Structure 1
Amino acid sequence: MPKFYWLRFPEQSRYTGNLNARHKWGGLPGVRCPECGATWAGSATAYPSADLSSLPQREAYAEPRPEPFDEFVRLRELVRPLVPPGAQLLPGAELGPLVGTATGTFSPLFFYFATMPLMHREALELLQAEGVRGLRGFPTELRFRQKKHPELLELEILPHGRLHPDCTPERPPPCPRCGHDYFTRPDDPILEAASLPAHTDLFRLTDFETMLIGTECFVEAVRHLELEDVDCRELLLR
């Protein structure tokens, strides 16, 4: 049986990196749902490959705000051709390259901000050479105070797979219109084996996008290359 790991920035690290940054084009607005009554923006996924420069309505994505459901759908469908096929595009999904300032030191795999996972270019190339699949890194527009700093790429990590219902609380079914389905992350996550992808070694979960998941291939490559700084916790499958 394949193994899957929850990837996190370790609680103790010698790295001091910090970001004051956002994505260039903003992102999808939040949504006000007329059916369930929720106002929410739950995405933790960014699409740094998205280029809205030729979209006349690009200013509509600049400021975060809630919109009525029909307007949210209209804005979501305008950008769908600009993101990878199968992108989940939840309310709040961010678009474009990362822009801002970076201070401190950054590990080769910098997963401190799950919404903005970064990797040194050299680390990305080494992992790809080891046969790790599905890694897509995009240039950032980060400004550093120090002259000597690594070239940081932002990973575009798409959502695939789900938590198994046995580890999540009992709750009403998701809203059939907007999909709202709030629950807290379980202390002991279990992955739904049948939902896990077979084509990529790094992904987010569709129902908990802040959880980054790596396959055994990814984790073995990271350990073999002695890349810092990521905590790898094997998860149960069911």
Structure 2
Amino acid sequence: MSYFIIDEDRSSKYVWDISGAHKWGLPGIHSCPACKATWGTDTRAYPSVDLTPVTHLANFEEPRAEPVEEYERMCSLVRPLLPPGALLQPGAAFGPFVGKAQGRFGPLVALFSWLLLVQREALEKLQAEGMLGLKGCRTELRFRQRNSPELLELELPPVGRLHPDCLPPDRKPPCPRCGRRGITLPEDMLLDAATLPSHLDLFRLEDFSTVIVCTERFVEACRRLNLDGVTFQSLPTA
């Protein structure tokens, strides 16, 4: 099986603008007691997760950094609501993507390298082709135009890792308390074949959550169905 990275098509005929954020999120960590880092990222998102049952919901609405103990306490409130296989990290996002949108959109829309939207009709076509693990979640986008599309966010489980051969040989292990790895995404990526899923045609990497990966089957289906708006770059495996 061959694999590809998905990203925005900057030469696309579609011109659009989207601004917004997910409805809820975990705080980042302020000065981890183990590694001393202050960090957080919303590149791992679970748009299907509804946090309304959580007490003190307002605590999940304001992006900020908190001591690691508070972050861990908030994680414990969220975990029972997560889908199978979900992994948390400081800044992880939940609920629908809320914001404003305008322009002409393709069937697939890479808002960021780590956030992939799809028009409902395109998703239904891909599912009819037998693509595995595609889960479209509603967004709350306000369009500044008539005849606006229905854009769904694809929920991307964190699965698969880069092969150690493409990572710095002197890298340190992840922080035992906050999980921070402190490694820059390598220019020449190499997937670790032993960690890749057989039950998904679309996923994000577990160790680099900004990277969305799809199978050759997914690429072929998109080309066969003329579903454009993104680019596919081949990723080698070892």
- Provide the residue aligned with 2:113 in structure 1: 114
Report how far residue 11 of structure 1 moved.
2.7
Moved more, 159-168 or 48-57: 48-57
SS state of the match for residue 72, structure 1? helix
**Aligned sequence identity (%):** 52
- Provide the residue aligned with 1:7 in structure 2: 6
Q: Does 1:30 align with 2:28?
A: yes
SS state of the match for residue 112, structure 1? strand
Q: Which amino acid aligns with 1:31?
A: I
Check whether the contact 2:18–2:111 (CA below 8 A) recurs between aligned residues. Answer: no
SS state of the match for residue 77, structure 1? helix
Check whether the contact 1:43–1:209 (CA below 8 A) recurs between aligned residues. Answer: no
Check whether the contact 1:13–1:229 (CA below 8 A) recurs between aligned residues. Answer: yes
Report how far residue 142 of structure 1 moved.
0.6
* Separation of aligned partners in 2, 1:175 and 1:135: 32
TM-score with structure 1 setting the length: 0.95
1:87-124 residue CA offsets vs partner (Å, 9 max, x unmatched): 11111111111111101111111013234311000000
- Provide the residue aligned with 1:231 in structure 2: 231
Report how far residue 52 of structure 1 moved.
1.5
Report how far residue 57 of structure 1 moved.
2.1
Q: Which amino acid aligns with 2:175?
A: C
Q: Which amino acid aligns with 2:184?
A: T
* Separation of aligned partners in 2, 1:48 and 1:150: 19
Moved more, 198-207 or 173-182: 173-182
* Separation of aligned partners in 1, 2:113 and 2:21: 13
Q: Does 1:67 align with 2:99?
A: no
Instruction: State the superposition RMSD in angstroms.
Output: 1.2
Report how far residue 43 of structure 1 moved.
4.1
Give matches, 1:203-222, under 5 Å.
203-222=203-222
* Separation of aligned partners in 2, 1:173 and 1:53: 36
TM-score with structure 2 setting the length: 0.95
- Provide the residue aligned with 1:173 in structure 2: 173
SS state of the match for residue 214, structure 1? strand
Check whether the contact 1:4–1:214 (CA below 8 A) recurs between aligned residues. Answer: yes
- Provide the residue aligned with 2:129 in structure 1: 130
* Separation of aligned partners in 2, 1:90 and 1:123: 30
Check whether the contact 1:43–1:89 (CA below 8 A) recurs between aligned residues. Answer: no
- Provide the residue aligned with 1:199 in structure 2: 199
* Separation of aligned partners in 1, 2:176 and 2:55: 31
1:116-161 residue CA offsets vs partner (Å, 9 max, x unmatched): 3110000000000000010000111111111112110111111100
Report how far residue 42 of structure 1 moved.
3.1
* Separation of aligned partners in 2, 1:166 and 1:223: 32
1:115–1:232 Cα change, 3 Å = closer
Check whether the contact 2:34–2:175 (CA below 8 A) recurs between aligned residues. Answer: yes
- Provide the residue aligned with 1:159 in structure 2: 158
SS state of the match for residue 191, structure 1? coil
* Separation of aligned partners in 2, 1:202 and 1:153: 15
Report how far residue 226 of structure 1 moved.
1.0
- Provide the residue aligned with 2:102 in structure 1: 103
* Separation of aligned partners in 2, 1:227 and 1:30: 36
Structure 1 moving runs of 4+ over 4 Å? none
Q: Which amino acid aligns with 1:37?
A: K
Structure 2 unaligned spans of 5+: none
- Provide the residue aligned with 1:186 in structure 2: 186
Aligned length: 236
- Provide the residue aligned with 2:92 in structure 1: 93
Structure 1 unaligned spans of 5+: none
- Provide the residue aligned with 1:54 in structure 2: 53
* Separation of aligned partners in 2, 1:61 and 1:86: 21
